[in-house]
A and B are shown apart, each in its own frame.
Chain A
């Protein structure tokens, strides 16, 4: 399969609009403008595109809700707050292929009737900010953004808004709060952002990768697009592989490529010829899979059947030398730090888990600690305001499910390394 999302990425000047135009960039805008907005939504629906941010919600459905809402203005927000540990799939697009994202947003904005867009950019991506701002001004100059795009009375304005470094702002309602200048905390749903979003107007929040798939669908048509990869969630997918592999990096592969294939074929296998121990397949919030369970297609519908989730497609590979208690502790340290503090189980539970895990990790574990970890996690699971708490509890529950022995040993051995 030819790369689309990462096309031309080896070109050092790929972020320049001239280079993008050379490879046929921005052509899809004109093509899309020939269609009625409804027809674009229909194309995306037929293509079967599902959101690449992690939840896999059908993109066309989200759009149609916002398009059907009679309130104006509508907003299109690009979620570029790539904060999930292990995830760096959007970064090459943002830094190397920004015009693809702009092209995708212009078409999407046209499709759902949004005339204003924001790219909510992760606070830790300062370089991407410069690249995006430059790309946006180039796009304005060439009339791909503005009041009369390509001389038609179609309007789309775009700006970058940089976050201040909060994981929770990747959650779409917290992202909206933050964009509005408020404290980054998730909102009560319903109402959903598609009806009451940014400044209480209909708002669509799509991931970077999702939006970059739109020009592709327009380009090759829904029919051809739907033939790529898994049947019920087709299209190209970016997998970012990190950890104990020979060739860590971002790989554009058809959706549904097997996890084993990704690790051993594309990422070059385990580093130093060591033995694989476990994989976190879709970013830290997805449950860990032991070596024995990695023969599974990496897509939205297959992964739950194998006990995990596709998430953001961030594959974290751990070899035999990795201590799972330490991994768990490190993960919980992250979740505690990133908990927004709004709801009790997440705020207090992650702290309790982190403190207990830290103690076990330091060799101060006690009898009953495993049962306690299990119960704290169960008390968090399913009771928090947003999925952040579920993610934290899921890590502990997953680790205890597959690697309970390591925890027991650590508690017994009082601190010696496994």
Chain B
């Protein structure tokens, strides 16, 4: 215990913190500009000077660590004079342009000068002049205002790990500059902008269009993009979102955001939003009334149900909708429509993997606290780049690397290139073989564990079959894994999208089991976990309860006052097939765009066009809505209440910030349809829905909005498979293909875009306006291509003209295109065949030819 005295007050401290931290923790204010809670100490601004007994000169409290018996004074004539002196120095070259500066009103320098500064300056010489730079698409730089606290540089390097910024020149000529000169050309997290104490780094999307004191409301809510579920504050004026502001101490992102979270909010302000219901008349979508549209839906669904049975109806739920929306949706389909044909695009990755892992390892196995990553000593990353898919989780991986953890990347993860200890590149589409070999090697040392006989048995079987792969780094990989005391596995969904994806998943499960590792499953959409928890699956009820176990089903039937069909429904791809085969007549799509977001777009479109009746609820006229019979305008995430459950199973509140000019909450539309179909749903608000969920789902038992608001609401981890202990791991016959082609096309997950929402965000489109084909630099050179060249690619049935972007880290012959941009998504070219176990689409083997355009 350390005892110090500040201003005569005795303070006891457990840890040797800095004087500044000790003072602030005890409510004593010391002005400081370069010091920041998230950053390493710097000692540059010299504002936080204090007097310390027995020390000859004033000390900077931000760099001085407390020592037992230290006596400190934070206010004195001497200190006031020194602070005034420093502020005067800061102002000699700082333009006094507060009236036109966006930061005015929340500027730390402005606040300090009004508190400690002199009333007038004495500097009569000429000020330094640097014109404001608008070269970058998203961030403006005003280096006249910069006070060189270097918070931005330290944030970018030490926390974000992007190292895109630096200080160039020296002395008074010093200025912050991106390494790529005028344009930032970085990860665009904007965290430099957050920590800038003055108006030196400005956000162009809202430059000169708001004043901090002219905000109508500030609403705390959760980000709509990925499964991490960052918290931020929405500032709203005139029913339009002005800014998203992360805050220290708020949510698991604790003051940080990624590019999508920071800039992507403006899709909600997009003028192309759907404003009224549409009905297809004479082949064209025409405006209609709600009453007419709902009437038509009820009529159609009733008719099909009565004539063909519930099995002819299917629904696609949405990982972008709230728990409440999804709960109501599946209840509606199971009761009013009498069908279990419910699935979502999560089947493409997250849901398939999550279900597989939970079946063999126990419920909650993939849901670990992101904060725990920082404590790992070995982290294996495979199947995707966490810094692109779940950027804030990615930062934890980078932070772990800085803490000394060994990072092993299997495959490609560009954002971790500078943080990795080892990178292993498996032969294309043969990740499973490498992982099985690793598992077998680990089993030699660690296994069998004996807790789960089925897994031990399967590992045993593999041990007899594997061959040590001839890839460089395999032995190091094995050694590293075995050396770990606290191993984490970060799994992206790319390896799920293989026809034999379950093989890789089992290997990962086995490694997790043997090493007692923590498993993190990357989640591209905000509410993928919640969607599963709510029972938007063909084989499970809310809480993950298996549908075909009678006891569970009976409980829900009693509670819902309706029978539920007892057979498992169809999975996503099966729904598409059944639509094409006209076994499914009506499809209800809530907040999803299957015609674009499911691989083999032409086939999916053909299938959906074959439907007798297609309903789409969305906020934009998507590719799917365009071919629908009825389109209903829903609300965006910022316009409604509800909850999201993130990938660590944390349940968080979504709060209404903006009054939507039109549209209705998804749950409300569904309830209305359900009511008209005779299945009563009388929810007056989302709170009543969560009450029902809390009553019926074991995972959400007893949950209330009040409790969620307090934070840290994680559903309990039991670690038991819901179907009971399995005796046999599901597996499918081996399939062996050789991939000897020049290039293979696979989907890319972009940092700046996410599905079909982000393409309506003008800010994100400014950062990343068009798709590109990512290709290894060496391969591009071999083809005589350089970054930015236009090429034409030929797949088995389809061509695409696209620009290439070269990547020096990609060594294998995979080439990548994202699935975000209209008409040019990778899913328009990729075909698939189903993994028989997970029912996820296998996307491997799309051989393409690249030709210079």
Contacts and interface: CB of A to CB of B under 8 A. Distances in A.
Interface stretch (B164-172, B195-203, B652-660): B164-172
B147 interface: yes
Nearest to A183: B167
B721 interface: no
Contacts of A188: 41-43, 63
A180 interface: no
Interface string A336-358: 11111111110111111001100
Contact of B90 (A168, A339, A344, A355): A344
A341 B150 CA distance: 11
A405 to B, nearest CB: 24
Contact of A345 (B46, B65, B172): B46
Contacts of B46: 343-345, 383-385
Contacts of A359: 125
A344 B172 contact: no
A383 B170 contact: no
A382 interface: yes
A337 B170 CA distance: 8
Nearest to B89: A348
Interface string B607-636: 000000000000000000000000000000
Given A344-B86, A345-B46, A383-B82, A352 B92 contact: yes
B171 A339 contact: yes
Interface in A215-259: none
A294 interface: no
Contact of B125 (A183, A336, A341, A356): A356
A379 interface: yes
Nearest to B63: A188
Contacts of B41: 188
B842 to A, nearest CB: 47
Interface in A350-380: 350-352, 355-356, 359, 372, 378-379
A356 B49 CA distance: 26
In this complex, the member of A341, A350, A385 whose beta carbon has the largest number of chain B beta carbons within 10 angstroms is A341
A352 B89 contact: yes
Interface in A159-215: 166, 168, 183-184, 188, 190
A188 B62 CA distance: 10
Interface string A312-341: 000000000000000000000000111111
Interface string B103-124: 0000000000000000000110
A341 B89 contact: no
A337 B125 contact: no
A103 B148 CA distance: 43
B92 A383 contact: no
Contacts, number: 94
A344 B171 CA distance: 10
Given A336-B171, A339-B170, A348-B172, A382 B58 contact: yes
B118 to A, nearest CB: 11
A340 B170 CA distance: 5
A361 B81 CA distance: 29
Interface centre among A340, A342, A345 (most CB of B within 10 A): A342
A409 to B, nearest CB: 22
B57 interface: yes
B45 A344 contact: yes
Given A188-B42, A343-B45, A345-B86, A350 B171 contact: yes
B122 A379 contact: no
Given A336-B171, A342-B44, A382 B57 contact: yes
A66 B173 CA distance: 37
B306 interface: no
Nearest to B82: A383
Nearest to A349: B89
Q: Which of B41, B47, B89, B92 has the most CB of A within 10 A?
A: B89
B174 interface: yes
Most buried by A among B58, B123, B171: B171
B836 interface: no
Interface in B25-48: 41-47
B44 A385 contact: yes
A341 B174 contact: yes
Nearest to A184: B170
Given A336-B172, A343-B44, A382-B57, A348 B82 contact: no
Nearest to B33: A344
Nearest to B87: A344
Contacts of A337: 171
B730 interface: no
A338 B125 contact: no
A347 B358 CA distance: 60
A341 B82 contact: no
B93 interface: yes
Interface string B520-537: 000000000000000000
Contacts of B89: 344-345, 347-349, 352, 379
Given A183-B166, A379-B85, A348 B44 contact: no
B844 interface: no
B88 interface: yes
Contacts of A166: 170
A33 to B, nearest CB: 37
A55 to B, nearest CB: 15
B344 to A, nearest CB: 49
A251 B65 CA distance: 44
Nearest to A355: B125
A351 B92 contact: yes
B171 A338 contact: yes
A345 B85 contact: yes
A67 to B, nearest CB: 24
Contacts of B166: 183
Nearest to A337: B171
B650 to A, nearest CB: 37
A295 B89 CA distance: 39
Interface string B343-355: 0000000000000
Contacts of A341: 148, 167, 169-174
A337 B86 CA distance: 20
A352 B90 CA distance: 11
Contact of A352 (B63, B65, B123): B123
B151 to A, nearest CB: 13
Contact of B174 (A347, A349, A382): A347
Contacts of A184: 170
Nearest to B45: A344
Contacts of A355: 125-126
B44 A352 contact: no
Given A383-B49, A385-B43, A348 B170 contact: no
Nearest to B172: A351
Contacts of B174: 340-341, 347
Nearest to B123: A352
A38 to B, nearest CB: 29
A343 B85 CA distance: 13
Interface in B137-186: 147-148, 166-167, 169-174
Given A341-B172, A347-B171, A383 B148 contact: no
A237 B42 CA distance: 37
B125 A339 contact: no
A172 B747 CA distance: 51
A381 to B, nearest CB: 9
A348 B93 contact: yes
Nearest to A166: B170
A346 B120 CA distance: 21
The 3 closest A-B pairs by CB, nearest first: A379-B85, A341-B174, A348-B89
6 contacts: A339-B172, A340-B170, A351-B92, A352-B89, A356-B125, A383-B46
Given A344-B47, A344-B86, A378-B85, 9 more contacts: A166-B170, A168-B170, A339-B172, A345-B86, A347-B171, A348-B90, A348-B93, A382-B58, A385-B44
Interface of A: 166, 168, 183-184, 188, 190, 336-345, 347-352, 355-356, 359, 372, 378-379, 382-385
